[in-house]
Amino acid sequence: MLKINQLKASVEDTPILKGLDLHIGPGEVHAIMGPNGSGKSTLASVLAGREEYEISGGTVDFDGQDLLDMDATERARSGLFLAFQYPVEIPGVSNINFMRAALNGKREHAGLDPIAGKDFLNLVKEKSSLVELDGKLRDRSVNEGFSGGEKKRNEIFQMAMLEPKLAVLDETDSGLDIDALRIVANGVNSMRSPDRSFLVITHYQRLLDYIVPDFVHVLVDGKIVRTGGKELALELEERGYDWIKEGVVS
């Protein structure tokens, strides 16, 4: 699904990713953990096609296509979804209209006609129940006046609507209380399937109790320095990152 080889990226001449390798197979859930400033969110932004980042080396293959050659819209329409760490507010644009534009963009890309009004509303109903997002939030402006938890649930709702091949969750657990965390995790788990992959970026092991990963990677200073199973997350929780960092240095 996703093959990242020796990816190097910098922002304003400061190198952040320094030769990152990561392979994600179909249906797999990978978690990336790492200390602050290790490049986790940069990885998410680079994959989504954010312009501020300069790619200075490496390749990214997404489902057989050269990801780095596509613009952000194409990547999204080809099935890459990013759940933002800080979802953006768009005043005056209803969540529903926003989703319809997004879905129809994707359908256009696939050579399909715009979705019929009734089908769209049914889909909204079905998917919003997945994350317990009530009607009021669907009709309000995109993320405007949403609480932190509501914003994150809205991200998962959008993901469910767009049915991506690869979903990148950028610190989706940050700022969530335990109930919201459970709702978000349930939403994600219900979407797990043999042909959909997840890349879960997180700071804390807590999220991985709910979304159980197949692999856990540790990102330090722009490189993946250790890979293991879900038990690695528990070890990190217990021992912190220092022992790994020291291991890297020595």
Summarize as ranges the residues that interact with other proteins (CB under 8 A): 48-51, 55, 68-77, 81-82, 84, 87-93, 97-99, 101-103, 105-106, 109, 141, 158, 162
The nearest distance, CB 72 to other proteins, in angstroms, is 4
The nearest distance, CB 133 to other proteins, in angstroms, is 16
**Any alpha helices (H) in 78-197, and if so which ranges?**
95-109, 117-130, 135-139, 148-162, 178-190
Residues 196, 106: Cα–Cα separation, whole Å: 17
The nearest distance, CB 170 to other proteins, in angstroms, is 11
When the beta carbons of 109 and 192 are compared against other proteins, the nearer one is 109
The nearest distance, CB 228 to other proteins, in angstroms, is 30
Residues 71, 51: Cα–Cα separation, whole Å: 9
> Edge-to-edge strands of the sheet including 14-24?
14-24, 2-11, 53-62, 65-66
Amino acid 156 reads: I
Q: How far is CA 28 from the centre of its chain?
A: 14
Amino acid 57 reads: G
Both ends of the chain: CA-CA distance in Å?
Answer: 34
Burial class (CB in 10 A: 0-12, 13-18, 19+), 226: middle
When the beta carbons of 30 and 106 are compared against other proteins, the nearer one is 106
The nearest distance, CB 67 to other proteins, in angstroms, is 10
Q: Are 200 and 173 in contact (CB under 8 A)?
A: no
When the beta carbons of 101 and 247 are compared against other proteins, the nearer one is 101
The nearest distance, CB 161 to other proteins, in angstroms, is 9
Residues 155, 128: Cα–Cα separation, whole Å: 11
When the beta carbons of 108 and 126 are compared against other proteins, the nearer one is 108
When the beta carbons of 93 and 234 are compared against other proteins, the nearer one is 93
When the beta carbons of 79 and 233 are compared against other proteins, the nearer one is 79
